[in-house]
Amino acid sequence: NAGVTQTPKFQVLKTGQSMTLQCAQDMNHNSMYWYRQDPGMGLRLIYYSASEGTTDKGEVPNGYNVSRLNKREFSLRLESAAPSQTSVYFCASSSVSAGELFFGEGSRLTVL
C-alpha cells in the first residue's frame, strides 16, 4: 500500500506564480487534511475535508484554495504565491474525523 502520496516533493516558484499540490490516499479514508510546517511554528492546519464533498478552513487558510476531487484526492492550490508561503506542506488522511492520522512525506515549496 502506498498510503498517502503527495506530488511534487520539491518546487521552486517565483512570487505571483500559481501551482497545485496534489494528494491521494489509497486507504479509503473519509477525511483529508493539508498542513504546513514552519520552523518554530509546528504544524498548522490550512484546510480539511471531513468527508467527500465538504471542505472547511483551518487555522491558516489565507492565500490557499482546496478541492476534494473525489474520495481519494485532495488538492491544495496557491493562486498567487508569496514568499511567506515558503514551507513544507503535508497532506494527511484519517478514516473518520477523529481517527488515526496518516501523513504523506511532504512537499517542500520555496517561493522566491
Task: Tell me the backbone φ, ψ of residue 79, rounded to 5 degrees.
Answer: -75, -40
Name the one residue in this structure whose C-alpha cell is 518546487: 11
Q: Which of 7, 99, 110, 112 binds another protein (CB under 8 A)?
A: 99
- Residues 60-89 touching another protein, rule: CB under 8 A, are none
Stretch that binds another protein, among 14-22, 64-72, 77-85, 99-107 (CB under 8 A): 99-107
Q: Does 105 bind another protein (CB under 8 A)?
A: yes
Cβ atoms of 76 and 47 within 8 Å: the answer is: yes
CA 61, distance to chain mean position in Å, is 11
- By residue count, the chain amounts to 112
The footprint of another protein (CB under 8 A) covers 31, 33, 35, 40-45, 48, 50, 56, 58, 90, 92, 97-106
